Chains A and B, each alone.
Chain A
Amino acid sequence: MAELAIEHIARIEGHGNIAVKVEEGRVLEVRMDVVEPARFFEAMVVGRRYDDAPLITSRICGICSPNHALTSIKAVEAALGVEVTERTTMLRKLLVYGSFLQNHATHLYVLAAPDFVGLDSVFPLAATHPEVVERALKIKSLGNRLTALVGGRPVHPVTAVVGGFTSEPKALDLASIHDQLLEVANDVLATVDLFASFALPDFASAGDMLALVESDDYAIYGGDIESLDRGWRRPVAEYRDVIVETSAGEGHGNAKHSRTTADGRTFMVGALPRINLSGDRLVPNAKAALARLGLVLPSRNPFHMNLCQAVELVDAAEHCAGYIERVIDMGGSSKPATVELGRECWGAGATEAPRGTLYHSYGIDANGIITSGDVITPTAQNLANLEADMRAFAPTVADRSPKEFELLIEQLVRSYDPCLSCSVH
């Protein structure tokens, strides 16, 4: 008999409880309950002006706020038919990558790593392995500086609005961040090596994997939705046709669960599905890191999510440096484009948030007032798959000591990098 009940599991974003019970190889109970209270963001935006949506929905998550703000902006722009300049798109991609650098560094070092070195938190490492903590802070603070430079501050960007940016970074400051991105190259590679040194359980998730894909770039800011197993590819505007979101059921708290419409399967989003689907579009250094890890693609092992996040750090640093060079060279303007109201409309937007694909959509009336709102967060998509993984994985490790059993289940949960406050938006 292996049994586990944890309230308010630590080192994840938001509040959740886990319960697992296995008897003679049979799973009696598996639950990942979100105990965050319902927050009603989809109802809050209704009745407010279209340009309030990014400001309000950014507050769904202080951890990946650039993604929520930009996804909301993209949805409003899709609805109102607003076209933005290439310069605006480049600056927005920098914001998303800034979010990746911040989030992946925090998740890998502060939230995930302590599990693999037998610690409760990252703080004791400051005394024993200061260089590791310094490296984590260096990558994270670079992400912060990048989002602050482009967005005005690290949390809840100020300058990103419907149609463009209200203020732009100076070329000199961009050049300085560019150099810092090149300087961090060894630190992001060291992160890959650190996580490569941790022993990971061998386990395959049975669900599908979805991510945005673009034909000519590693997709983080746009593209179509693609299924790894079924191979279908659909535009973001059809997201509600390909994903079904349902209430998670009795006792699961206020989060929702998601399945694919086509075959009713649970699915995974995040760094592992992204690399499975777009690994060939990573920058050369990230591809080399992937090769050094010996990761055979496609991988179905959710514990590889950490490795993929580390590879994405390598990719983010180099990709950003390239985007900054283009922003400095290209000229043009990111001044907000003019918005024309006067008709009822609906639009959807999606970006890759650090922990997976994020969708927003809104209905807007002729006066620019929002009539409906819908948000599907990465964690709301992952929860059903995570539970299915816990159900399949728990019996395979039920013979371990209670402490080890708990650690392995927690490692599985943390590998998904769940954001539970997001999940109840």
Chain B
Amino acid sequence: MADAPSVAIISLASDFGCQVQITNIDPGLLQVLGLIDLRYWQLTSSGHMPEEYDVAVIEGAVTTDEHIELLRRVRETASVVVAIGSCAVTGGIPALAGTIDADCRFAAVYGEDATVTPGLHSPVAISRYIDVDYIVPGCPIDTTEFLAVLGRALKGLSNGMPEQPLCASCKTHGNECFMRRGDLCLGIITRSGCDAKCTTLGRPCTGCRGLAPDANLEAARKVYAAFGHDFDEVVTALDLYNTDREVCR
């Protein structure tokens, strides 16, 4: 146990959903915690943030000066940084706020007289501020994939993320194609690895895992047009999790 790698689980602006997914690792939860030395997890323990740890697992989007400062400290301390969930990996749904003018979004929530809070930024992915070694994309993360990536990180292996779009995996489930039914589906450009969960359960892909590195965007653009979806419609759909086009790929 003395040699077990020490881990800190850290959250920025998020809904805690990915941390909840970590607590959902049952019945293996206790066993997993035995393999690592969990030094810090605000959600579950009153202990304070330690000076040293090997692995930082970070959930949430970067939104404040405090987050940026924290990330710089984390990067100096941890030898491995794992970004988990859409918020941390692409900016995710929180980054949608960045598509609205700052004054407008404050007025919409806090009234016309509200002033923009100093030190508050449009939410962005962690990799906009520090180098990220491993990603676990998705909203929320899949617990099995999280454990697999954490295992690879502890062993110093590559991230092992699939690079092709969702379609092939969706086909293996025998799903009827949403595009052929007239629905807009982001599966043709979205990173696979989710076992086509949503499409198999009857909902088109909304792109929570980011763009697939192997996706042919030019071809996809033509496919969307051929199926009657104008470019604005595709952009609106893509914005849901991927407003930051440079980071999401």
Binding site for B on A (CB under 8 A): 8, 10-11, 13-15, 36-40, 42-44, 46, 48, 52, 55-56, 59-63, 65, 106, 110-111, 114, 120-123, 126, 133, 137, 140-141, 144, 152-156, 158-159, 161, 166-167, 247, 254, 421
Contact = CB atoms under 8 A, between A and B. Distances in A.
Closest 9 CB pairs of A and B: A62-B17, A166-B202, A121-B45, A43-B108, A10-B46, A62-B15, A43-B105, A40-B97, A120-B46
B226 interface: no
A144 B120 CA distance: 35
Nearest to B63: A37
B197 A158 contact: yes
Contact of A254 (B21, B29, B46, B117): B117
A141 B24 CA distance: 7
Contact of B27 (A40, A59, A60, A141): A141
Given A39-B94, A40-B108, A159-B201, 12 more contacts: A10-B42, A10-B45, A38-B109, A38-B117, A40-B97, A43-B100, A52-B240, A62-B20, A110-B23, A111-B44, A120-B46, A247-B110
Nearest to A68: B15
Given A48-B236, A155-B21, A159-B203, A43 B97 contact: yes
A61 B16 contact: yes
A244 to B, nearest CB: 13
A14 B43 CA distance: 8
Nearest to B100: A43
Nearest to A37: B63
Contacts, number: 151
- Sorting the interface of chain B by its residue count into under 10, 10 to 19, 20 to 34 or 35 or more gives 35 or more
B18 to A, nearest CB: 7
Taking chain A's interface residues, is the majority helix, strand, or loop, or is none over half, making it mixed?
Answer: loop
Contacts of B192: none
A106 B198 CA distance: 26
B93 interface: yes
Contacts of B96: 44, 56
Contacts of A122: 44
Nearest to A161: B203
A279 to B, nearest CB: 29
B205 to A, nearest CB: 11
Interface of B: 11, 13-21, 23-24, 26-27, 29-30, 33, 38, 42-47, 63-64, 67, 92-94, 96-97, 100, 104-106, 108-111, 114, 117, 120, 139-140, 197-198, 200-203, 206, 236, 240
A55 B200 CA distance: 17
29 contacts: A10-B44, A11-B43, A14-B16, A37-B67, A38-B106, A40-B105, A42-B109, A43-B100, A44-B97, A55-B206, A59-B94, A61-B16, A62-B14, A62-B16, A62-B19, A65-B17, A110-B44, A120-B47, A121-B45, A123-B33, A123-B45, A133-B30, A137-B29, A141-B26, A144-B24, A144-B26, A155-B17, A166-B201, A166-B202
B20 A155 contact: yes
Nearest to A111: B44
Contacts of A166: 201-203
A156 B120 CA distance: 27
A11 B202 contact: no
A155 B97 contact: no
Given A39-B97, A43-B100, A44-B96, A121 B44 contact: yes
Contacts of A37: 13, 63-64, 67, 117, 120
Contacts of A36: 13
Contacts of A247: 110-111, 114
